[in-house]
Amino acid sequence: MCFSATASLIAGGALTAAGVATIRKTETKAELPFASIPLLFGIQQITEGVIWLSFGSPLLNIAMTYVYSMFSHVLWPIFVPIAILLLEKDLMRKKVLHVFSGIGLAVGIFLFYFILTDGVTSEITSNSIAYISPHLYLPLVMTLYVLATCGSWFVSSHKIINIFGVVFLTSFAVAAWFFSETFISVWCFFAAVLSAIIYWYFRNNLITQKLAETV
């Protein structure tokens, strides 16, 4: 978890296992990106576990901080709307998700550029890890980031995905309000744990398909 190396590694291991189980329930290639979200969150949490252990090793700390930031700053705003878009069948909703995907791509590229040019560092603050990356906190960038990573869930025609959007946005509000200094770490942890809901999305679809086949 964001509060200790042990918890981060345990959460990462559990999410990785859940991610593999989720991927195994996919039926089409279009489902793979969405199904791999728990696995990717698992890898991200394991990375943060290594960061906790790396503060006595500057080179390892720098490397793992950059790896973590590639997930938190760059991957998610690009990956999430595209993964949801690939599941969508409704043409109007697909058009909206294409817009969200474009926004996410722009945000991801913007943050990637400034991570490379200005750098990003990590430090322990209030028993959590703070990632020093001021460009993410620019009001417009944060608004577009949240629109891409949270708004996409509400556009989907799948109810379980909409539910995930609600809890995802709620976790954002909680992390921003109570953990402002370590917001990135805490929100990513909440999102990682909540990503287990994705397993139930595929499990529910599989059960529905089997029931349809028996009718």
The predicted pLDDT at position 210 comes to: 44
The predicted pLDDT at position 211 comes to: 37
Which helix (H) or strand (E) element contains residue 137?
none
CB atoms within 10 A of CB 59: 8
The predicted pLDDT at position 78 comes to: 97
* Contact between 122 and 65 (Cβ < 8 Å): yes
Q: Which of 169, 194, 164, 161 has the alpha carbon at shortest distance from 90?
A: 161
The predicted pLDDT at position 113 comes to: 94
Angle in degrees, CA 153, 157, 161, rounded to 5: 40
DSSP state of 124: E
Q: Which residues of the chain have pLDDT under 50?
A: 1, 207-215
Residue 128 pairs in a beta bridge with 125
Decide: helix, strand or coil at residue 144. Answer: helix
Torsion of CA 51, 34, 195, 76, to 10 degrees: 40
Give the pLDDT confidence of 56-88 residue by residue, as tens digits: 899 999 999 999 999 989 999 999 999 999 999
DSSP state of 60: H
The predicted pLDDT at position 212 comes to: 41
